[in-house]
Amino acid sequence: MRTKPKNVTWTDAQWRAITEQGHDLLVAAAAGSGKTAVLVARIIQKLTDPNQQVNIDDLLVVTFTKAAASEMRERIGKALDQCLVAEPNHLFLRRQQGLLGKASIMTLHAFCMSVVKHYYYFLDLDPGFRLLDETEAQLMREEVLEGLLETYYASNDPQFYQLVDRYSGDRSDDALNQLLLRIYEFSMSHPWPEIWLDHLAETYHVASETSLDQCEWLSELKEALAQTINGTVHAMREAVRLCGEPGGPSVYTETLLEELHALEQLQAAAGSEWQVLRAAVLSVSFGKLKPVRGKEVLPQLKDQVKKIRDTIKAKINDLQQQWFARPADECLKDLNDMAPSVDLIIELVKSFTRQYKKEKRRKAVLDFSDLEHECLAVLRAKDSSPEQERPSIVAEQFRSRFQEVMIDEYQDTNRVQEAILQLITKDNRTGGNLFMVGDVKQSIYGFRLAEPGLFREKYKQFSRPDTDGQVIDLSNNFRSRQEIIDGANFLFRQTMDEKVGGVTYDSAAELCFSAKYPEENRPIDLEIINRASTESEPAGDTDDLDSAELEAAAIADRIIAMIGDDGSSPSFQVFDRTRGQMRAIQFRDIAILLRSASTTAAVIKEVLDQRGIPAYAELSKGYFDAVEVSIMLSLLQVIDNPDQDIPLAAVLRSPIIGLHADELAAIRVADRRSGFYQAMKSYLTEGKSKTVQRLFVFLEKLEEWRDFSKNHAVSELIWQIYRDTGYYDYVGGLSGGTQRQANLKAFYDRARQYEKTTFRGLFRFLRFIERMRANGGDLGEARALSEQADVVRIMTIHKSKGLEFPVVFVAGMNKRFNLRDTAEPALLHKDLGFGTKWINPEFRMSSPTLPYLAIKERMKRDAVAEELRILYVAVTRAREKLILIGTVKDALKQVEKCRDTLHQTDWLLPADSRSSASTYFDWLLPSVARHRAAEALHELLEDEPSRTSVFLDQSEWRVQLIPASGLLQSDAEKKQLNQERLQLLKQGKSMSSHSGVQDEVAARLAWTYPHAVAAASMAKQTVTEIKVQQDYFSSGNDDALLSGSERFSAIGHDRPQFLQQSALSATERGTALHLFMQHLDLKKSDTLEQLKEQGTALVAKEIITEAQEQSFDYQAVRAFFDTAIGKKMREATKVIRESPFSLALPTDEVYPAWNKEAAQETVLVQGVIDVMIEDEDGLILLDYKTDHLGRFPTPEAAVAELKQRYTVQIRLYQRAIEQIWKRKVMRAGLYAFDIGCFVDLTKGGTSR
């Protein structure tokens, strides 16, 4: 490791992570520890190290998402720019800038894609393959599986029929299909899928002499059993303690002590053989409690003791009934009985894998899991085995090429990805080059089969002194305020350890406050919305309100108070890092995080919208339920098959046709026995009403669309419907029209995307959508609002990972965890394999097998551990303020659960209570209840925790109990007020304002733009425009160029060609003559013939047209050269023609009517000077005029008019030349061709 310079701001741990090399490194980077900055700094350090410079394309940087890869590339680019500012002549760094675009900074899937594309010939793969999207892949899998099962159905195999009976429902075999697909997906997360599948079947082939204790999954059951028993012992001890409290039911003590002794004996036997364990569990019994007499016993303590005991009894009873009801030999017999079905399942999955691969090869497509496995096939040598992976020649090439492989978010990799990484990196024993960054506390992608165990294994391995790898802990948090850091540490010290959460929350895992914020006390808020009534608060009608609505109302109140729009409190201040100072909070500073946004996000967004709070939620549901999309789907269904009553009725009722309910009823009455389509045809024969006419038009159009669909793509059909019906334009005029049109546009885009798949046709498109909806897929509403807008953002906790917000609300704290997967008849686990119930289809009986119970316990434990890590991610998103909010039915009953641990002295809560949590409140409330600040909870319990280090912890909390009725009352009052205001508005009457910002509103409505004159005046003038305004200049107002209120009506632009076919206008003739004078050869202007020859030559060169040439008055031009000014021009030493200029003038010179403040601005004046003549006397400015002056009685009168009209213009030209050229203009004037006269406009000059 390089010595850390004194001027760097990196922490010691960060500096190690940046500079350490020579072996594999695992960086455990806690939330907000700057891991991306460290990763970028490490890359820059490798590029700038003078002793061992590395080209950036010799590094492989693997990120979790494409967005992260783009951000990484951008950050590296900026860092290189900064290095080049310091060393602009550093050629190596400039070369790295050029290489950055093709550097290997990508997701692992992108890396796999590049390998497969480059080495396709190793795989017997079409080089033009494409990647399936998830829905298309799912449809293809289902089609292949359906074909496979049809083959087995046709075989009349009794074993297969028994399998179907065991795992299918009464109506379909969908359950079996889903089971086979799940096993396939699990197998593909393993580097050796077939071997993993074979191992699944081995579990159920148990030899007769085998003991249960020899089964590998039994240790999992024993571990879960030990945890449960330990929990019951702890709970029973607490019950005994409560009996000894003043007012406790002491008569229960004797019975409870006997039962405690039995549980402790069971605890001692927890590590014994299964038969001994079984006997011990079945021997536990519970006696009858003695009756409690006397008023000295407190009812709440008595009830608490009985409740604890009942919970213990339920747990022991569950063990006796579910785990130990059957002897060991019967349990083994169940496994062997299920073995044939399990074997057949494995056979089916293997056959499906082969056929699915064959179908993908035929269509030249791959899915996402194929990318990893095909890449692995390229990188893995043929003699590899699960015990020994050997690199292929290609892998060896990658090992030689990449100086280091860096992987971000390592905790979210799976075993296939790990195998790929190991094959392309050097052996750690010979100088490893794998750099891994991650945080196992933030491993929250178990549903994607991520394997956090890989991170844990390496962390333990590299922490040992005898290993070649090293671990670096980054625990400094540069994101959050002290209160959030302390609160997070307080919470997870009590709840997270290796058993629950996957990592011990010790000093190495704790967050260390390192951010810089102005001092201000901002405790974490815990808000508990209580549905139950109290003496001071009536219950109200809250039963019908969803918890999300109540929480949204509470959140809305807090946001309004923070923003300062309630007129009662100042705006909440947040620290602006770019300015280095506090500023008022904005909506964009606030995020609402949810565990699941499928339904809750829409509810919260609706409530916020009603309160006038702009909110953005990327909804994953609701797209297909949107009215406009639903109508289009119904219409497509009718086009595909008109004999569908519900879609047809939906289309007829829609705005596309616009029939009313009575009209639909009349159609139904026309033919009650047939389908609605036939009834509609019958109705058409009954008359010629307007309804009949509309239906005739619809049927004609329907036939057109049906014909169109046979020969065109679905996307073309959809757009044709938009055109024919005008429906796209129609929805744009409705409320929320922008969103509705975005939805219809997304529907069209989805159809275009479908056309790129291997499927074709309208029927299959509709099936495609149907499958997507059936499988829970939904596009989500199309985006019509950017996330960058000033809105409150509503998102899932998963989406928030990697982000940070000044203010964070975490809602749904009492929402139950989703553990439905553990209730399936067959369970899967990546380590423990396949667990199925014993199923007897003949008697319709089933019971859990021991492998099933083992996998179920592990799945629950893994799921709960991941939920705890998700909570960690949520809590660590906040920078300055964290509000945790949840709704309970009865706060007292909820908080009563905390009593068991209230007086516990250890920091860590009991493992059994932590692992059995079903909501975030099950962790949060017992933890916070032990803190000194949880007075609201202590009052409910009528008890106070022991004064331990937990009670006195430095973290700051504010606990509030919010009656749900208060939120409901607030909403009701606002609705009533809105109704009253609406009524006053309808009557045209004034109303009082209660916003508190009346003065501000009045000031804004009365506001006028202070520079209205400037807004009506032009910032740029051209002399051409000035010359056109002849009427204005004729009025003699020579003291200003042009009034800002003037409008140009005769600017001399070219006429359209169809108007130019007639004779040229005066303006066009003048322009033509200027062109002639500009290109005229002065040495060949002695005679008319010479002039005409030059005019003809200009036509030949296409500088002027014939019409323009024919309009020339050559005699007038010749006369010009006979004048004194003409001769001077011919004899001058230098003549400059058509000289453009730009001149900035003060506004007080251009617009005298402006006020003094406006005079500080400038107006840009542009023009073109016809001729500048330079001779021994100096500069002469000359301007040509072709005005028709024959209307004047004498030449003198014409000259007077010209002087009045053009004096301002010529003086402006003169001023421009003198200011720009820095030379004096001796004479300035104009030449009028119509009267052959030079008009001298120099002050004191004469005309001649």
DSSP 248: -
Question: 35: annotated binding-site residue?
Answer: yes
Cα torsion at 6, 10, 13, 18 (round to 10°)?
-100
**Chain length of the chain:** 1248
CA-CA distances (angstroms) from residue 782 to 66, 185, 615, 777, 1083? 21, 30, 15, 14, 73
Establish how many alpha carbons lie within 13 A of residue 255's alpha carbon, considering only the half-sphere containing its beta carbon: 17
CA-CA distances (angstroms) from residue 952 to 23, 809, 1063, 1077? 43, 26, 99, 96
- 8 A C-beta contact, residue 626 and residue 825: no
- 8 A C-beta contact, residue 389 and residue 422: yes
**Burial of residue 318 (number of CB atoms within 10 Å: 0-12, 13-18, 19+):** exposed
- Report which residue type is found at 397: Q
Beta bridge pairs of residue 594: 796
The label of the residue with tokens 């008849």 reads 825
Question: 279: annotated binding-site residue?
Answer: no
Distance CA 421, CA 112 (A): 11
- 8 A C-beta contact, residue 265 and residue 276: no
Q: Provide CB contacts within 8 A for 501, sequence distance 6+.
A: 441, 492, 495, 865, 868, 869, 872
Distance CA 273, CA 213 (A): 6
First CA to last CA distance, the chain: 92
Question: 1092: annotated binding-site residue?
Answer: no
Beta bridge pairs of residue 1172: 1136, 1181
Beta bridge pairs of residue 582: 575
Question: 33: annotated binding-site residue?
Answer: yes
DSSP 57: G
Q: Provide CB contacts within 8 A for 304, sequence distance 6+.
A: 242, 896, 899
- 8 A C-beta contact, residue 458 and residue 11: no
CA-CA distances (angstroms) from residue 163 to 175, 491, 547? 11, 48, 43
CA 87 to chain centre: 38
Question: 480: annotated binding-site residue?
Answer: no
Distance CA 669, CA 132 (A): 49
- 8 A C-beta contact, residue 511 and residue 489: yes
Q: Is 240 helix (H, G, I), strand (E, B) or coil?
A: helix
Q: Is 610 helix (H, G, I), strand (E, B) or coil?
A: helix
Distance CA 253, CA 243 (A): 6
Sign of the four-CA dihedral 749, 755, 761, 765? negative
Question: 1027: annotated binding-site residue?
Answer: no
Distance CA 794, CA 601 (A): 6
Distance CA 52, CA 57 (A): 15
Question: 591: annotated binding-site residue?
Answer: no
- Quote the longest CA-to-CA distance of the chain: 140
Distance CA 405, CA 348 (A): 39
- 8 A C-beta contact, residue 1204 and residue 1037: no
Query: Between β-strands 581-584 and 573-576, what pairing exists: parallel, antiparallel or unpaired?
Result: antiparallel
Question: 360: annotated binding-site residue?
Answer: no
Distance CA 269, CA 229 (A): 10
Distance CA 767, CA 135 (A): 11
- 8 A C-beta contact, residue 1095 and residue 1089: no
Phi, psi of 1157 (to 5 degrees): -65, -40
Name the binding residues: 29-36
Task: Write out the binding residues for ATP.
Answer: 29-36
